[in-house]
Amino acid sequence: MIFIGQLVEVLLGGLLAGVLYSLVAFGFVLIYKASRVFNFAQGAMVLLAGLALVRASNFLSSSGAPLWLATLLGLMFAGAIMVACAWLIERLVLRQLINQDGLTLFMATIGVTFIMEGASQLVFGSDVYPLRFYPTDSWFLFEGAFPGGVLVNKLDVWGGLIAGLLVALLAVFFSRTKAGRALRAVADDHAAAQSIGIPIGWIWFVVWSAAGLIALVAATVWGTKLGVQYSITFLALKALPVLIIGGFTSIPGAIIGGLIVGAGEKLAEVFLGPQIGGGIEYWFAYVVALFVLLVRPQGLFGERHIARI
Amino acid sequence: MLYRETGQFKSSYAEDIAIFPLYQDRVAIKLLLLAAFLLIPFLAKFQIWPLSTDYLLRAILIPFLVLSLAAIGVNVLVGYCGQVSLGSGAFMAIGAYCAYKFGTGIHLPAFWSEAGISIPPISPLLAILLGGAMSAVAGILFGIPSLRIKGLYLAVATLAAQFFFDWVFLRVKWFTNYTPSGSVNAPALSLFGYELSTSVDRYCLCLASVTLGAFCVKNLVRGNIGRQWMAIRDMDIAAELMGIRPYYAKLSAFAVSSFVIGISGALWGFAHLGSWEPLAFSIDRSLQLLFMVIIGGMGSIAGSFLGAGFILILPILLETVPSQFGLPVSTEVIAHLQSITFGGLICLLLIKEPRGFARLIALFRQKIRLWPFPH
Amino acid sequence: MRDATGRDKMNIANVKRPYRGREEEVFEPEPGDGARASDKVTAGQIFRLENIGLSFGGVQALRDVSFDIRKGEIRAIIGPNGAGKTSMLNVINGFYHPQRGIVEFKGKRRNSMGPYFAAKEGIARTFQNVALFKGMTTLDNIMTGRALKARQGLLSQAIFYGPARREEIMHREAVERIIEFLEIEHIRKATVEKLPYGLQKRVELGRALAMEPELLLLDEPMAGMNLEEKQDMCRFILTINRSFGTTIALIEHDIGVVLDLSDRIVVLDHGQKIADGSPQEVQRDEKVLEAYLGTVH
């Protein structure tokens, strides 16, 4: 009985952690769906958003503002920063690289990552900044069924709810609205979309701003969990297996990929780890993603590309 | 007026396919090799400026050579064959650790006898070569997914290799000979009994390896296999329809690339660092190598040297220039400024000249063909 | 091109075979009516397709198509857009594997022949949208066509001076003969990306020729060309067929060219074969007129 209880606890913890990965993955999917660019800078965006938020709200509350006001203004400030960044990126980088191939754009986003990491830490500091956005204590569920109950972290649950809300919003946006359709056209062929009058620059600005705001949401969750610090950028790397498993263009796929990765990692760490020496979660997700790719090179939910010559 | 090709006629195909078809280029490369092989050791031996101390050799020239070799390896895979790889650090690590194991003796316990398989320590240079060979084997194994997976997905697969080997060299104590700290000391380098103890000796070793490596890779790249690699990069479906086997081309690219990167990793540990820990070959190293290739020029051997030189010099510039102007900056701020400069340069280069410094220099050479005449 | 009596107007008596490496007797057209495949070649079939059915992604591209290609002839495949002509060529090439039917090449069944083996057996092709290797020069592109003939291993190539260099020079000589034949010497060191479309098509033809194929598949080789370029291309195709003995299967929309060049024609429409025969027969066939050539209503 104890074993099952432990399994359930680890499983739940893993699933919820996986949902948090999905939050970061959403930003990737949004940008990829709209411009076929793989945005390596998503992790750096989370860092920037988190730093802006935490520093602004700390500054305001230490200047005497009540906590709720400081937090609200902090959010607005961080949101404005992300929108400004999106504008800069679109203007200075993306616009110059219209119609280049995916690899060039990917490497440009690596460049943007470095700029963002350096600039955000230069301006806002490079310490660890704790964030108290959500309650972080835990519930003990099912105390009747399992002795001691199953530990479920409230923060993780909040993360899950937010992720669910975002999925619903984004799914509706892409399938129902005119802007969503325009985004899909832009993703398919930049030059063609331009030639029929779709304002590519404006669209990319909107999309990157949206991804920036998603990064802000992810920053609130991850910042509460880990504290806002440089290592948050490695979340971007963690989201990659999520995207592989879920497909680069599928929002529900990002959730499912996140669940699989989160649960798989935790389970492997707890049950396989002791045999092979621990620290497995470092690479487990990647190896799983690798095997998924070998079977389905386009990921579980990705679109199959039929070669035509 | 000096740099032009008028009057230089090629009367055989052999002349046409030479590495340096222009007479001026041949003169330049001979001078460069002379300076590298003779002048620098001479200056170092007699401690004449700028080699009055060890610093230039130890901190700039040796790492420059080793990283150039690594960049050449990465260029083969990413630049010539078009397979995105973010796992080059892992292959450097494999080369370094395998060379270390071969150099300190291998003892594999076997289930059939107590003694198991025991190989005595091998001379360090041979160990370095074997390290490269092991890296090549690993490269072929991790290249097998590239037959099905392309582009960005392949980059993620190579990340799997990177993180996996990070973990292996950290946790599997056998590789570090069970040291408590996790870092290893390389055995002393010796060549047929002659100890390579001074910086000059190690510099000459690296120089010889890099020259040989660059020569061989350049030969591969201008020959049949190089064309196959570039064909796969440009349009792999058409390549297959012409009788180029994607398996052979991609796996040979992985093998050659990993071999070169493995040797450079072993040299990095043996000749440059002396002792190292797994962090020396982490994802940061992989990204650094990728940047060298992008900035220097993908698909260009000379570009690998340019990229390596640039990425090595930049931090030093960023450190010394502010202090020359009297502005004290902390190391943290320098690190952030470095990040910003790297990122900015990558974006700038990708926008203005995606083919990197090598292309800029080629354009410059075209301009000075006409110099001093405007057109 | 043929004149009114059916005699070949072009004098190709002085053309050397570019890649055999030695002088050979060139084919001289007989006076009188022009040679027809059925008269000139008795060697028989080189390629045979029977009841080919091909579908992918829910689309039925080919339905019960059967025809053959005789050794040494020029076989044209024509039809309206979407008829399945390129799919047919892809089946011959081994790029698509038909779900139904028999594919026979040189007498042996090869239904699941992959593209590599097709190339090895001597089938080369050009593409509708030029599939050259954009980052390489003309010379390098055509040299890649010699990949199958390369014998030297990696180590020998790394050392280069020695057998690898000799082989490289040998291939270069063969490729230079092709460049001379196609009259593209002036662009041999140019990056193909920068070349005009017509020249790119010629380079692609050179790359296919470098494989010394027995069967050459041409997918709309004259698309987008003006009259002069088309005449050049026709001259090349005829020389390749008559002098080098290469069998040619050709997709082309210019009906004048097709009727002049080809020995036999296959007409496809909506994935099915609607006519098969000599140019005269096909020209008069009612189904073809209705589907493709046009009738007076």
Check residue B198 and give its pLDDT.
Answer: 81
| Cross-strand partners of B193 | none
Name the residue of chain B whose CA is nearest to C93's CA: B241
Mean pLDDT for the stretch of residues C262-278: 90
B368 or C4, higher pLDDT: B368
To test the contact with chain B by mutation, choose from C168, C212, C214 the residue with the greatest count of B C-beta atoms within 10 A, namely C168
Of A100, A112, A297, the CB nearest to B148: A297
Name the residue of chain A whose CA is nearest to B83's CA: A103
Is residue C235 domain-shared with residue C116, that is, in the same domain?
yes
Contact A309 B241 (CB under 8 A): yes
Contact B14 C169 (CB under 8 A): yes
Contact C131 A309 (CB under 8 A): yes
Residue pointed to by tokens 């099952």: A4
Burial A55-69 (b: 16+ CB within 10 A, else e): bbbeebbeeebeeee
Is residue C172 domain-shared with residue C221, that is, in the same domain?
no
* Confidence band of B335 (pLDDT split at 50, 70, 90): confident
Contact C95 A306 (CB under 8 A): no
Task: Find out whether A248 and A28 touch, Cβ atoms under 8 Å.
Answer: yes
Chain C residue numbers with beta carbons less than 8 Å from the beta carbon of B241 are: 93, 95, 115, 118-119, 125
Checking A96-99 for CB contacts under 8 A at 24+ apart, the result is A96/B351, A97/B350, A97/B351, A98/A190, A98/A191, A98/A194, A98/A200, A99/A190, A99/A191
Task: Give chains near B: 3+ CB pairs under 8 A.
Answer: A, C
CA-CA distances (angstroms) from residue C167 to B220, B349, C22, C171, C263? 13, 38, 18, 6, 38
* Confidence band of B132 (pLDDT split at 50, 70, 90): very high
Residues C43-69: tens digit of each pLDDT = 578 888 888 888 877 888 888 899 889
The nearest CA of chain A is from the CA of C166 a distance in Å of: 35
Contact B340 A115 (CB under 8 A): yes
Chain A residue numbers with beta carbons less than 8 Å from the beta carbon of C92 are: none
Contact B230 C135 (CB under 8 A): yes
Check residue A107 and give its pLDDT.
Answer: 81
Name the residue of chain A whose CA is nearest to C56's CA: A306
Residues B189-208: tens digit of each pLDDT = 777 777 777 888 888 899 99
Check residue A253 and give its pLDDT.
Answer: 82
Domain segments of chain B as ranges: 1-52, 53-370
Chain A residue numbers with beta carbons less than 8 Å from the beta carbon of B153 are: 244, 293, 297-299
* Confidence band of A205 (pLDDT split at 50, 70, 90): confident
Instruction: Give the lowest-confidence range in A153-162, A209-218, B144-153, C194-203.
Output: A153-162
Residue C163, preceding peptide bond in cis (omega within 30° of 0) = no
Domain segments of chain A as ranges: 18-231
Longest dimension (CA), chain C: 71
**What six digits make up the tokens of C272?**
């099915």
CA-CA distances (angstroms) from residue A150 to A1, A60, A141, A143? 12, 39, 5, 7
To test the contact with chain B by mutation, choose from C121, C136, C216 the residue with the greatest count of B C-beta atoms within 10 A, namely C136
Burial of A214 (0-12, 13-18, 19+ CB in 10 A): buried
In angstroms, rounded to a whole number, what is the distance separating the alpha carbons of residues A216 and B50?
Answer: 51
Contact B347 A277 (CB under 8 A): no
Check residue C211 and give its pLDDT.
Answer: 92
Residues B46-93: tens digit of each pLDDT = 877 777 777 888 888 999 999 999 999 999 999 999 888 888 999 999
The nearest CA of chain B is from the CA of C132 a distance in Å of: 8
Contact C90 A306 (CB under 8 A): no
Task: Find out whether B375 and B7 touch, Cβ atoms under 8 Å.
Answer: no
- The runs of H, that is alpha helices, within chain C are 37-40, 85-93, 115-121, 138-144, 154-159, 163-181, 197-209, 227-242, 255-261, 279-284, 286-288
Mean pLDDT for the stretch of residues B273-284: 85
Q: How many domains does chain C have?
A: 2
In angstroms, rounded to a whole number, what is the distance separating the alpha carbons of residues C113 and C121?
Answer: 10
* C136 CB within 8 Å of a chain B CB: yes
Chain A residue numbers with beta carbons less than 8 Å from the beta carbon of C127 are: 309
* Confidence band of B111 (pLDDT split at 50, 70, 90): low
Is residue C230 domain-shared with residue C96, that is, in the same domain?
yes
Residues A26-77: tens digit of each pLDDT = 888 888 877 778 888 888 998 999 888 888 888 888 887 777 788 888 888 8
Q: For chain B, what is the mean pLDDT?
A: 85
User: Is a pLDDT exceeding 80 seen at residue C189?
Assistant: yes
Residues B97-110: tens digit of each pLDDT = 999 888 887 777 66
Burial of C245 (0-12, 13-18, 19+ CB in 10 A): middle
Chain A residue numbers with beta carbons less than 8 Å from the beta carbon of B340 are: 114-115, 118-119, 122
**Which among C5, C63, C109, C29 is positioned nearest to C269, based on CA atoms?**
C63
Burial C70-108 (b: 16+ CB within 10 A, else e): bbbbbbbbbbeeebbbbbbbbbbbbbbebeebebbbeee
Domain of residue C180, residue span: 127-212
Instruction: Give the lowest-confidence range in A165-169, B251-255, B357-361, C199-203.
Output: A165-169
Mean pLDDT for the stretch of residues C169-181: 93
Instruction: Give the lowest-confidence range in A107-121, A142-156, B301-315, C282-296.
Output: A142-156
User: Is a pLDDT exceeding 50 seen at residue C110?
Assistant: yes
Q: Percentage of chain B with pLDDT > 70?
A: 95
Provide the whole-model pTM: 0.85
Residue pairs between chains B and C whose CB atoms are closer than 8 Å: 101
Residues C279-290: tens digit of each pLDDT = 988 888 888 888
C189: domain CATH number is 3.40.50.300
* C155 CB within 8 Å of a chain B CB: no
To test the contact with chain C by mutation, choose from A100, A104, A304, A309 the residue with the greatest count of C C-beta atoms within 10 A, namely A309
* Confidence band of C31 (pLDDT split at 50, 70, 90): very low
The nearest CA of chain B is from the CA of C38 a distance in Å of: 30
Is residue C58 domain-shared with residue C106, that is, in the same domain?
yes
At C216, which helix (H) or strand (E)? strand C215-219
User: Is a pLDDT exceeding 70 seen at residue C35?
Assistant: no
ipTM here: 0.83
**Which among A273, A279, A268, A277 is positioned nearest to A10, based on CA atoms?**
A268
Contacts (Cβ under 8 Å, ≥6 apart) of C9: C1, C2, C3
CB proximity under 8 Å: C 211-270 to B = 211
Residue pairs between chains A and C whose CB atoms are closer than 8 Å: 8
Chain A residue numbers with beta carbons less than 8 Å from the beta carbon of C220 are: none
Q: Letter for the amino acid at B242?
A: M
Is residue C137 domain-shared with residue C96, that is, in the same domain?
no
Most confident of A14-18, A73-77, A246-250, A252-256: A73-77
Name the residue of chain C whose CA is nearest to B225's CA: C154
Q: Is C51 helix (H, G, I), strand (E, B) or coil?
A: strand
DSSP string across C28-43: -PPSSSPP-HHHH--S
Q: Percentage of chain B with pLDDT > 90?
A: 26
User: Is a pLDDT exceeding 60 seen at residue B322?
Assistant: yes
The nearest CA of chain A is from the CA of C127 a distance in Å of: 7
Q: For chain C, what is the mean pLDDT?
A: 82
What value, to the nearest 5°, has the Cα angle with vertex A156 and ends A154 and A160?
Answer: 115
In angstroms, rounded to a whole number, what is the distance separating the alpha carbons of residues A214 and A236?
Answer: 13
Is residue C57 domain-shared with residue C115, that is, in the same domain?
yes
List residues of B whose CB lies inside 8 A of any A CB: 84, 145, 148-153, 155-157, 159-160, 163-164, 166-167, 170-172, 237-238, 241, 283, 287, 290, 294, 332-333, 335-340, 342-347, 350-351, 354
* C133 CB within 8 Å of a chain A CB: no
Is residue C265 domain-shared with residue C197, that is, in the same domain?
no
Checking A240-243 for CB contacts under 8 A at 24+ apart, the result is A240/A286, A240/A289, A240/B156, A240/B159, A241/A285, A241/A286, A241/A288, A241/A289, A241/B156, A242/A18, A242/A21, A242/A22, A242/A25, A242/A285, A243/A25, A243/A28, A243/A29, A243/A299
